[in-house]
Amino acid sequence: MSTALVLLAAGLSRRMGQDKLLMKRHGKPLYRFSLELMGSFPDTSRLVVSNIGEIIDAAQALGFHTIGNPLAAQGMGTSVAAATACLREERAVFLNADQPYFTAGCLALLLACAQETDAIVVPRVQGLPKSPCVFPRRFYPDLMMLEGDQGGRAVYQLYPEEVHYLDFPDPRPFQDFDTPEDWARDGWDT
């Protein structure tokens, strides 16, 4: 089954106070971690949603497809909807560009589970749902209807019988960076 990896990188970083995806750790911008992860899955289609020239250029240099999102200020749901409208693959994973510790191993487990179950696969840590999630194509129409700050959770909550939760013991891969406090607590460069 064909898979699309979609990187959501069009947010405005309002809580951070500056574009967090361009902030660096060990000299590497935050978005780079996600692009490198995507690059380690060459048998997938790769799509990056961003309005940031540096991210678009870096993604295209790696051979990834890119689209902009003129509605990004309205929330993440508009990026999910815009990306989904471009997809033809059997399933899609919506990656967050602010999860630098998310690993190829975690992604491989999610994809294997999706292939085995043909369900919406939602990672879970200590009973709490996390992202990124994997959605089979039959849910694309619902994903294309998302708006505002709605994410995949708004879709998978509509179909509880179609969700497979995959438990992970370690919360670190699912950690994201939204505020200066998140950044400082983790010891990242500024």
Closest by CA position to 76, among listed 172, 175, 157, 7:
7
What's residue 180's pLDDT?
54
Domains with residue ranges and CATH for the chain:
3-184 (3.90.550.10)
CB 56 within 8 A of CB 15: no
pLDDT of residue 17: 47
Task: Report the phi/psi class of residue 2: left, alpha or beta, with left for phi > 0 and alpha for psi in -120 to 50.
Answer: beta
| pTM for this model (two decimals) | 0.89
Q: What's the CA gap between 163 and 100, in Å, rounded?
A: 25
pLDDT attached to residue 178: 60
Bond prior to 132 in cis (omega within 30° of 0): yes
Tens digit of pLDDT at every position of the chain (190 positions): 699 999 998 855 444 444 668 778 778 898 999 999 999 999 999 999 999 999 999 999 999 999 999 888 888 899 999 999 999 999 999 999 888 889 999 999 999 999 999 999 999 999 999 999 999 999 999 999 998 888 899 999 999 999 999 999 999 889 876 655 655 666 555 4
